[in-house]
Chains A and B, each alone.
Chain A
Amino acid sequence: AQRVTQPEKLLSVFKGAPVELKCNYSYSGSPELFWYVQYSRQRLQLLLRHISRESIKGFTADLNKGETSFHLKKPFAQEEDSAMYYCALYNFNKFYFGSGTKLNVKP
């Protein structure tokens, strides 16, 4: 069963434009949601998690339990945001990644 869905394989925006990377999940209970990011020639790393309720590099994500979504947003995209973004879910010693969205920020 697909537990974490990222519907867009590729998202291209211009510098300065708002960006939203979509993530939907299907899991009962109260899972924890995360966004991981992999920049070019770097390792996969944690960007943010919903329980921290923090903004990292201008990105925020709100957990919407009604819509079972955890979309990643940034009001003004920068070229250095270009990367592969993975949504992930944790519940009861299980951890699931989505298939990822490649964000391309054009100058």
Chain B
Amino acid sequence: NAGVTQTPKFRVLKTGQSMTLLCAQDMNHEYMYWYRQDPGMGLRLIHYSVGEGTTAKGEVPDGYNVSRLKKQNFLLGLESAAPSQTSVYFCASSYSGLNQPQHFGDGTRLSIL
């Protein structure tokens, strides 16, 4: 049982490049989330989705876009990467709601040069 799978695990980009991070879950969860974690800080919510076809902004949404075309997948896009987006990105999912147990992926380490 894979749970939450994030692709890729590592990536290095140049400023201005675009990329998409993929999150897939096999638990039939309704809610999915994208967080970023910077050194010395806790995880901060970027965007989340309460179901297929829906997305909502979290605490730090600027510079990111998301899509939830299929229930099991949640994509995080960076249209024009900036050095300030260098971070570790975590995807999570829960059966229903942010206040329910969230199941996390392994994280994606992204560096923007």
Chain A positions within 8 Å of B, measured between CB atoms, are: 4, 9, 32, 34, 36, 43-46, 49, 86, 88, 90, 93-100
Contacts and interface: CB of A to CB of B under 8 A. Distances in A.
Which secondary structure dominates chain A's binding surface?
strand
A98 B99 contact: no
B56 A93 contact: yes
Contact of B99 (A36, A43, A90): A90
B40 A93 contact: no
A95 B98 contact: yes
10 closest Cβ pairs, A-B complex: A97-B42, A44-B104, A90-B99, A46-B101, A97-B43, A95-B98, A99-B42, A43-B104, A98-B42, A32-B99
Given A45-B104, A93-B98, A97-B43, 11 more contacts: A4-B42, A9-B40, A34-B99, A43-B103, A43-B105, A44-B43, A86-B42, A94-B98, A95-B33, A96-B42, A97-B42
A32 B33 CA distance: 18
Contacts of B33: 95
Contacts of B45: 94-96
